[in-house]
């Protein structure tokens, strides 16, 4: 029996954010990219033989990217998403760090000291004393 992909997967659209740099104005921005999540069904379709069941057991959940290009928020130029990953397996996404953790890890590996947060100047007394109310 020939298996159809719609018999093996549930499809669900989703939007994931990505950070890309415009090649024209060189500004980096966050863009919403449309993906379709293909989730493996709980059991193989009815009428599947032993070979089809073996193939079904090897299947994995994956994301398929729908958007190939985005429009720059600053200059309005449409540019292609600079990535070869139009198909990503979901189990590969689980271990990826977020952007802040990645930057922190890179600075630790480079031996850079952790930046000291800037202290805000204290407010003058006229802004901090309690108001006695109307007199």
75-124 pLDDT tens trace: 889 988 877 778 888 887 766 656 677 777 777 788 776 667 778 888 88
The Cα–Cα gap between 100 and 114 comes to: 13
Question: Is 135 or 52 the better-scoring residue by pLDDT?
Answer: 52
Q: What is the pTM of this model?
A: 0.61
Question: Is 84 or 64 the better-scoring residue by pLDDT?
Answer: 64
Task: Give yes or no for residue 29 having a pLDDT over 70.
Answer: yes
Longest dimension (CA), the chain: 90
Instruction: Give the other-Cβ count within 10 Å of 63's Cβ.
Output: 20
SS3 43: coil
């Amino acid at each position: 029996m020939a298996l159809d992909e719609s018999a093996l997967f549930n499809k669900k659209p989703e939007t994931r954010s990505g950070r890309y740099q415009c090649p024209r104005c060189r500004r980096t921005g966050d863009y919403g990219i449309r993906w379709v999540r293909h989730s493996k069904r709980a059991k193989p379709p009815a009428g599947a033989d032993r070979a089809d069941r073996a193939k079904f057991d090897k299947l994995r959940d994956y994301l398929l990217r729908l958007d190939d290009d985005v429009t720059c928020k600053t200059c309005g130029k449409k540019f292609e998403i600079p990535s070869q990953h139009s198909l990503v397996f979901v189990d590969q996404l689980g271990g990826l760090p977020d952007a802040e953790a990645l930057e922190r890890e890179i600075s630790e590996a480079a031996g850079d000291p952790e930046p000291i947060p800037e202290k805000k100047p204290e407010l003058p007394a006229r802004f901090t004393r309690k108001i006695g109310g109307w007199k």
